Amino acid sequence: MSKICQITGKKAQIGCNVSHSKHRTKRSFDVNLFSKKFYYVEEGCWIELKVSAAGLRLINKVGLDAALKQAVSKGYVDWKDIKVIGD
Tens-place pLDDT, residues 6-38? 999 999 999 999 999 999 999 999 999 999 999
Instruction: State the pLDDT at residue 20.
Output: 98
Angle between helices 53-62 and 64-74 (to 10 degrees): 120
Q: Is the pLDDT of residue 1 over 60?
A: no
What value does the mean pLDDT take over residues 70-86?
90
Percent of the chain with pLDDT over 90: 84
Report the chain's C-alpha Rg in angstroms.
16
Is 53 buried (19+), middle (13-18) or exposed (0-12) by CB count in 10 A?
A: middle
Q: What's this model's pTM, rounded to 2 decimal places?
A: 0.83
